[in-house]
Chains A and B, each alone.
Chain A
Amino acid sequence: MTCAEMEHVLPEIMEGVRTADQEAHLQNCRECSGILADLDEIRQRARSLHASEEPSSRVWESISTTLGEWRSETDVIAEQARELQASEEPSPRVWDSIQATLNEWRSEMNEISAEAGVLADSEPSPRVWNSLEIELRKAGLIRRPEPPVASGRSSGWRWAWLAPVAAALLVVGVTLSQRGHAPQGPASVATLPMASLEDQKMLDAVALRAPSMRAVYENNLRRVNAYIRDAEQSVKNDPTDPEAQESLVNAYEQKSMVYEMALDRSLP
């Protein structure tokens, strides 16, 4: 091995890797072994320079000053942010939008509640109830019903009865007038309100077909008319009251059922 060859492998030898040839050359060559010793000395002494110097006090003073400035700037920014937060007021549109959304939600909740109520309501159809009511009253087992307490929930299916009610009233009126039935019956019918002229015609029709049922229907009509008057008064007092409106609808439903049953039983 030559000195030039040794020079190329010095880095590996410095890391402790050496062959027998290299070892033999180092043993015999003062120059190469001297270089290796010098490089090793430099490496050893270099470690003593690690963390050997102390910075002047100016360094920390400068750092401290800068940190203080940063902190002041941060405080100012934070203060400005707080002021901005407190000073800004949303436009009225924001509240309007919130209210509109809340109303939509309320409406949806009512619909859901109504649907849930219909599902949960196990009462039979109004027609069934009216039949039962009439029979029970006939038997004297129940008294005049108290005006129903509105549940506060909307019941869309109940409104659907308005058309049949009107239609039933119209049909009865037209039919009776075409047949030329004259009012007959006890004096109590005459005590019905003037608005119940159609009722009188219906009772006359019932009396013709089933005289024994006339009194029953007359009583039922009286009660349901009273119920209607009460409901109408409530609506008149507060036209926006949904409970009063629902009571009125219920009253008309009751009356429509009476008509329907009377016509079923009395008309051919």
Chain B
Amino acid sequence: MTDARRRAGGGLSEAEAIELAKQGDAEAFEALYDLHKRRVYSLCLRMTANTAEAEDLTQEAFLQLFRKIGTFRGESAFSTWLHRMAVNVVLMRLRKKGLPVVPLEETVETEEDTPKKELGGPDPALAGSLDRLQLERAIEALPPGYRSIFVLHDVEGFEHNEIADMVGCSIGNSKSQLHKARMKLRELLKTSRAAKATRP
């Protein structure tokens, strides 16, 4: 058992907290919240790009955890199980709001969606100069469908087959949309940098 999996001060391991939480132990549930709140909240925030909504979704994800923890059988890591549940909560909310969880077009690229290469112009590399804040803002500016795929793969580390299963698309589409999302991000970052450079 790693220290990270021990509750600060309480000495309760994650496995112990899970078993106690299954029996309705409020303190054990709070310990699980403390262990996983950052990842769940970050996921919600990146996916929605909205603080209030992210907090609301975080609450909803943990309440659903409270309701369903009795069904956790340990067939996968608890964190994997929980974060998959959190992703589903977010995707459900996006669908309810009518926002695409995956880009609507499968193969046809529109003029607006296709990032263009700036041939011939100055093209300073992002490498070495990209900071976290810039990236966060660029991700927030991504269309919702691109943002979901990018966050799930590049931020949260899900595999394409898992993403395809969760959002309901093919693995090939997941790969294709991820590439487009990265290209769109690059474009946004460069645009942002150019605007900053021209600012007096």
Contacts and interface: CB of A to CB of B under 8 A. Distances in A.
Interface string B20-64: 000010100110010001110110011000000011001100110
B55 A49 contact: no
Given A31-B123, A42-B186, A46-B150, A59 B135 contact: no
Contacts of A46: 135, 139, 150, 154-155
Interface of B is mostly: helix
A60 B30 contact: yes
A38 B38 contact: no
A63 B63 contact: yes
A76 to B, nearest CB: 16
Interface in B2-29: 24, 26, 29
Interface extent on B, as a size class?
35 or more
Contacts of A70: 66
Nearest to A50: B155
Contact of A49 (B24, B26, B46, B186): B46
A134 B175 CA distance: 110
Interface residues of A, number: 37
Contacts of B132: 45, 48-49, 52
Contacts of A10: 179
Interface string A26-41: 0000010011011111
Given A34-B123, A39-B182, A67-B66, A45 B59 contact: no
A50 to B, nearest CB: 6
Nearest to B136: A49
A262 to B, nearest CB: 86
A198 B128 CA distance: 134
B157 to A, nearest CB: 7
A42 B142 CA distance: 13
B104 interface: no
Contacts of B197: none
Contact of A52 (B42, B123, B130): B42
Contacts of A56: 55
Nearest to B181: A42
Interface string A172-195: 000000000000000000000000
Interface in A184-232: none
A31 B175 CA distance: 23
B182 A59 contact: no
A70 B175 CA distance: 42
B176 interface: yes
* Chain A interface main SS type: helix
Contact of A45 (B41, B63, B135, B157): B135
Nearest to A53: B42
Interface in B136-194: 136, 139, 150, 154-157, 175-176, 178-179, 182-183, 185-186, 189
B117 interface: yes
B125 interface: yes
A14 interface: yes
B83 to A, nearest CB: 10
Interface in B115-135: 117, 119, 123, 125-128, 130, 132, 135
A113 interface: no
Nearest to B186: A38
B119 A59 contact: no
A62 B59 contact: yes
Interface of B: 24, 26, 29-30, 33, 37-39, 41-42, 45-46, 54-55, 58-59, 62-63, 66, 117, 119, 123, 125-128, 130, 132, 135-136, 139, 150, 154-157, 175-176, 178-179, 182-183, 185-186, 189
Question: 6 nearest interchain CB pairs?
Answer: A46-B154, A55-B41, A51-B39, A11-B179, A53-B42, A38-B126
17 contacts: A11-B175, A14-B179, A31-B119, A34-B125, A38-B189, A41-B128, A42-B154, A42-B186, A46-B150, A47-B154, A51-B42, A52-B38, A53-B45, A54-B38, A59-B59, A66-B63, A67-B26
